[in-house]
Amino acid sequence: MLAATVKDGALMVEERPDPEPGSGEVLVRVRGAGINGADILQRAGGYPAPPGSPPDIPGLELAGEVVARGPGAERFQEGDRVMAVVGGGSQAELATVHERTAMPVPEGLDWPQAGGLPEVFTTAHDAIFSQAGLRPGERLLVHGAAGGVGTAAVQLGRAAGADVVATVRNDGLRGDVERLGARAIAPEGFEDEGPFDVVLELVGAPNMPGNLKALATGGRIAVIGVGGGMKAELNLLALMGKRARIHGSTLRARPLEEKAIAARLVEREVLPLFRSGALTVPMAATFPLAEAEQAYKRFTDGGKLGKIVLLP
């Protein structure tokens, strides 16, 4: 099979042996594989794939057809359209997925959208509901809302009956974010827009003092991105006074059982909203696998709204 590969910072598309599905796994012919920030970090050498994932083939999400099943794999049939978050290796013509982490692709969702859905919607759903416990009627602040996880979070918050405010640095993208259901504002001065019950932090340390200031009593901050800096100042007395909590997390390193639980929750609470049309996967661009280098460049150039998806 052809696969995107990374070695010493170089991204190439090369021939690799076809993977074989292990116990409980399905082999998927990949039709869409989104690019995420973690791929950029991995290419730069800073975020190695977890054990059990191909160390040199990037890609954390995929959609495609089941073409073979390993021993004991029973959830899907050959030909089924599936999508999943994976530990790595999705940016290739073939990839293996444990059937418990795979989800059916909702009817009507095309391959590019399905290939760009799992990582960002699972990450956003896990952070704002499973961790931060967002409730109907609460106020949600999403930082860095024009990105993949941000656009997912804005839509999920809106669909759950929350009042969503979103910071977007690029003023040319604020209108797009507003159309997803948030009030979009510049990052400067966001701390005066509170109180917020839940803050989804996709930017990092510079926002943290303002997040705490803008937090409601009993508020929750979920930190899942630190591109803007990782060393934050935390006023513990303010945290106590707000009776607040701060979560940090990543999906990638979790054990199979936790990834499977996250996938079940997305199946139950998120996928029906794609079928009804309440949610969409905003698409910035698609590229054939052979143009992975250009796709990565488009991703890091910024100034886009939505996903960049490779189509092997």
Query: What Å distances lie between residue 152 and 101, 158, 284, CA to CA?
Result: 19, 10, 14
Which range of residues in 58-66, 101-109, 179-187, 221-229 is near a second copy by CB under 8 A? 221-229
Q: Is 44 in the site for a second copy (CB under 8 A)?
A: no
Nearer to a second copy, 10 or 237 (CB): 237
Q: Which two tokens stand for residue 69?
A: 């099943």
Nearer to a second copy, 88 or 106 (CB): 88
Q: Is 107 in the site for a second copy (CB under 8 A)?
A: no
Q: Is 234 in the site for a second copy (CB under 8 A)?
A: yes
# of chain residues touching a second copy (CB under 8 A):
31
Q: Which two tokens stand for residue 22?
A: 């292990």
DSSP classification of residue 93: S
Q: Is 208 in the site for a second copy (CB under 8 A)?
A: yes
Q: Is 239 in the site for a second copy (CB under 8 A)?
A: yes
Minimum distance from residue 173 beta carbon to a second copy (Å): 24
Q: Is 131 in the site for a second copy (CB under 8 A)?
A: yes
Q: Is 244 in the site for a second copy (CB under 8 A)?
A: yes
Spell out the residues 6+ positions from residue 22 whose beta carbon is closer than 8 angstroms to its own: 70, 71, 96
The DSSP line for 154-196 is: HHHHHHTT-EEEEE-SSGGGHHHHHHTT-EEE-STTGGGG--E
> Among 154, 214, 224, 279, which residue sits at the site for a second copy (rule: CB under 8 A)?
224
81, 105 contact by CB (below 8 A)? yes
Residue among 233, 205, 207 at smallest CA distance from 196: 207
**Residue 163 and residue 183: Cα distance in Å, rounded?**
9
**Residue 266 and residue 103: Cα distance in Å, rounded?**
8
Which range of residues in 58-66, 140-148, 161-169, 234-242 is near a second copy by CB under 8 A? 234-242
Minimum distance from residue 284 beta carbon to a second copy (Å): 25
Q: Is 90 in the site for a second copy (CB under 8 A)?
A: no
Q: Which two tokens stand for residue 26?
A: 């399905």
Q: Is 10 in the site for a second copy (CB under 8 A)?
A: no
Which residue ranges make up the site for a second copy (CB under 8 A)? 131, 201, 204-205, 208, 223-224, 226, 230-250, 253-254
